[in-house]
């Protein structure tokens, strides 16, 4: 992929990246997750280390968990084997394989690792991978056919705000997303979608509204699971945009409002991404209660009454 001047600027503003052992997963975690139909799955998420995504989105912080150069063939299979050995005693329903890049890009996931990963995951009823919409195609269908369980592909839609979507440097338009979604749904592959809260270039007072609109677009295109992800600053480019008035870090209250507004869908599970929730600005007096409420809502799908606080008056 051609490196543009925008790509170069974004990369030049990044802080130093840590170095990783290419044969050892960055980390893994266990969690519970509600699925369509209401069942609760036990999920193992493996954060694999491989090549950086070439798309250089302005909001991305995943590059810091990647290696320089292409993924070494066989490395991801070895990483996954280590993760599975660590959790061999657990009862698990699903495995998420997040490589901070694109699963269906051969530079990130070599062919032999696609085969090796399929061979290591027959015990899981569901296998989730992540990939840019433009990488979804025959390789996706071939991988789904190799699995014993059902494939789910996570795609970042981010925002349908027209000006913001064009300015994110994601190199994705709605037509391409819609085509990828259609291919997955038509071939009985589950679609998970990532939606941003606080996307750059979206006015602060419209942030929740555009997040809700983007969730609705994803659900209308067949997404069965949608995750609302608050944008995390710290990549250099977001600080530049903040200084220009084009980005404001989303708040805990906004995340609550966005999730609550999306819980009326009976076609998809919509949840709030809480992996870095402690970073969100919010009232110190009531934030623990608010976060606990979000965790309960993610599992139940029911919007509880909002927390009232005598300090922040929300």
Q: What is the pLDDT of residues 73-120, one digit of tens each?
A: 999 999 999 999 999 999 999 999 999 999 999 999 999 999 999 999
What's the whole-model pTM score?
0.96
Q: What is the pLDDT of residue 266?
A: 84
State the average pLDDT for the chain.
96
Q: How many Cβ atoms are within 10 Å of 243's Cβ, its own excluded?
A: 9
CA distance 78 to 81: 5
pLDDT, tens only, 17-73: 999 999 999 999 999 999 998 999 999 999 999 999 999 999 999 999 999 999 999
Burial environment of residue 36 by CB neighbours within 10 A (0 to 12, 13 to 18, 19 or more): middle
Contact of 59 with 238, CB cutoff 8 Å: yes
Segment 51-54 long-range contacts (CB within 8 Å, at least 24 positions apart): 51/101, 51/105, 51/107, 51/108, 52/100, 52/101, 53/100, 53/101, 53/102, 53/105, 53/108, 53/132, 54/1, 54/105, 54/107
CA of 149: how far to CAs of 98, 135, 265, in Å? Answer: 17, 21, 26
Among 185, 195, 114, 115, which Cα is nearest to 152's? 185
The closest alpha carbon to 222, from 254, 190, 256, belongs to 190
Q: Quote the pLDDT of residue 312.
A: 84
pLDDT digits (tens, 9 = 90+) for 245-260: 999 999 999 999 999 9
* Contact assessment for residue 110 and residue 77, using Cβ atoms and an 8 Å cutoff: no
Q: Helices then strands (H, E): number in the chain?
A: 10, 8
CA distances from 193 to 86, 126, 217, 310 (A): 29, 16, 10, 36
For residue 25, report the phi and psi dihedrals to the nearest 5 degrees. Answer: -60, 150
Q: What crossing angle do the helices spanning 111-120 and 138-146 adopt, rounded to 10°?
A: 30
Class of domain 5-281: alpha beta
CA distances from 179 to 106, 135, 175 (A): 21, 11, 6
- pLDDT tens by residue, 187-225: 999 999 999 999 999 999 999 999 999 999 999 999 999
In the DSSP assignment, the letter for residue 58 is: T
């Amino acid at each position: 992929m051609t490196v543009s001047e925008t790509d170069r600027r974004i990369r030049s503003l990044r802080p130093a990246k840590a170095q990783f052992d290419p044969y050892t997963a960055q980390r893994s975690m266990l969690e519970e997750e509600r699925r369509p139909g209401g069942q609760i799955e036990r999920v193992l998420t493996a954060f694999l280390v491989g090549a950086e995504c070439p798309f250089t989105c302005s909001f991305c912080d995943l590059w810091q968990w990647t290696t320089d150069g292409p993924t070494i063939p066989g490395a991801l299979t070895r990483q996954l084997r280590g993760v599975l050995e660590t959790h061999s005693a657990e009862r698990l329903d699903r495995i998420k394989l997040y490589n901070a890049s694109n699963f269906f890009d051969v530079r990130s996931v070599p062919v032999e690792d696609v085969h090796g990963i399929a061979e290591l995951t027959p015990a899981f009823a569901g296998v989730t991978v992540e990939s840019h919409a433009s990488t979804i195609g025959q390789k996706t269908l071939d991988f789904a056919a190799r699995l014993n369980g059902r494939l789910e592909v996570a795609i970042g839609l981010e925002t349908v705000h027209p000006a913001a979507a064009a300015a994110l440097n994601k190199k994705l338009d709605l037509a391409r997303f819609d085509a990828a979604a259609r291919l997955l749904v038509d071939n009985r592959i589950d679609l998970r979608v990532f939606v941003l809260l606080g996307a750059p270039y979206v006015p602060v007072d419209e942030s929740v509204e555009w997040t809700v609109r983007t969730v609705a677009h994803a659900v209308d295109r067949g997404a069965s699971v949608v995750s609302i992800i608050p944008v995390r600053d710290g990549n250099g480019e977001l600080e530049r945009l903040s200084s220009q008035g084009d980005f404001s870090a989303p708040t805990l209250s906004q995340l609550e409002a966005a999730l609550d507004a999306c819980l009326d869908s009976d076609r998809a599970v919509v949840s709030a991404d809480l992996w870095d929730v402690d970073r969100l600005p919010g009232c110190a007096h009531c934030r623990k209660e608010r976060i606990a409420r979000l965790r309960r809502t993610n599992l139940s799908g029911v919007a509880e009454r909002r927390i009232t606080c005598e300090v922040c008056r929300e």
